[in-house]
Amino acid sequence: MSKDKIIAAAIHVFSEHGYHRASMDEIALSAQVAKGTLYYHFPGKAQLFKTIVMDGFQEISDRIRSVMESDLTLEEQIQRIITHNLDLFLESRGFAHIVFNELSNGIEQDVLEELKGLKEGYIDFLAGVLEEGCKDGVLRSINCRLAAAGIVGLLDSSCNYYISHPDALNRDDLEQFLYTIITTGLFKINV
C-alpha cells in the first residue's frame, strides 16, 4: 500500500538527511509515489515525521514494558533495557538520533511540542524504572529523571561512535560497556 511505502521511505530519507534536509520530493521518489500522494496520506511534512516517531516510541515502549512486567532482578532489567534501546537505535539509526537530538528547533511548533512530550514521556518511563531501584535500595539516591535523560544521551552518543567505528568494537562490547558505566562507573574501586 502507498501509505506503508511512504512510511518506509520517509524513515529512510529522514535518517539519511535529518529532518530539515529531507525533502518531500525525495521521500516521494524513494517511495515511488507521486508527490501529491504524500499529502493524501499525511497533512504535511511535520505530521508525517510525527507519525513515524510515534510509531517508533510505541514499539520501544511496548518492548520495554514487557521487560518491566517480568519478575527479573533490576540488574537484569537494566541489561534488557539497554539491549532494547540499542536495538532501536541501531535498527533505525539516524532516526532515533533525530528524535532525541536534532529537533530542538525549526519545526512546526505544535508538532514539536508533541514530540517533546513523547520524549519526556519516555524519559519518565525510564526514570520510573530507576525509581524502583532507589526504593529497593539498590541504586544511589539520585535525581532519577536527570539520570534517565543523561542515559539516553549516553546511549545515543555511544551508538553513534559504534556505528562510525565498526572495527573498533562489536555489539557485545558496546552492551557490556554501557552496562558497566551505567551501573558501576569508570572507577575500578568504588567506596
Q: Which of 7, 9, 11, 22 binds DNA (CB under 7 A)?
A: 22
Shortest separation between residue 156's beta carbon and a second copy, angstroms: 6
What Rg value do the Cα atoms of the chain yield, rounded?
A: 18
Q: Does 40 bind DNA (CB under 7 A)?
A: yes
DSSP SS3 for 67: helix
Q: Which of 149, 167, 171, 175 binds a second copy (CB under 8 A)?
A: 149
Cβ 118 vs Cβ 152: under 8 Å: no
Distance CA 46, CA 108 (A): 7
> Which range binds DNA by CB under 7 A, 40-48, 80-88, 153-161, 168-176?
40-48
Q: Which of 8, 29, 41, 132 binds DNA (CB under 7 A)?
A: 41
Shortest separation between residue 21's beta carbon and DNA, angstroms: 6
Q: Which of 3, 5, 17, 63 binds a second copy (CB under 8 A)?
A: 17
Q: Does 80 bind a second copy (CB under 8 A)?
A: no
Residue for grid cell 507521486: 34
Cβ 13 vs Cβ 33: under 8 Å: no
Q: Does 169 bind a second copy (CB under 8 A)?
A: yes
Shortest separation between residue 6's beta carbon and DNA, angstroms: 8
CA 6 remoteness from chain centre: 21
Q: Which is nearer to a second copy, 62 or 158 (CB)?
A: 158
Q: Does 9 bind DNA (CB under 7 A)?
A: no
Shortest separation between residue 85's beta carbon and a second copy, angstroms: 13
- How far, CA to CA in Å, does 112 sit from each of 30, 123, 150? 25, 16, 21
Distance CA 16, CA 21 (A): 9
Distance CA 137, CA 12 (A): 43
Residue 58, C-alpha cell as written in the block:
510505541
The footprint of DNA (CB under 7 A) covers 1-3, 21-25, 33-41, 43-46
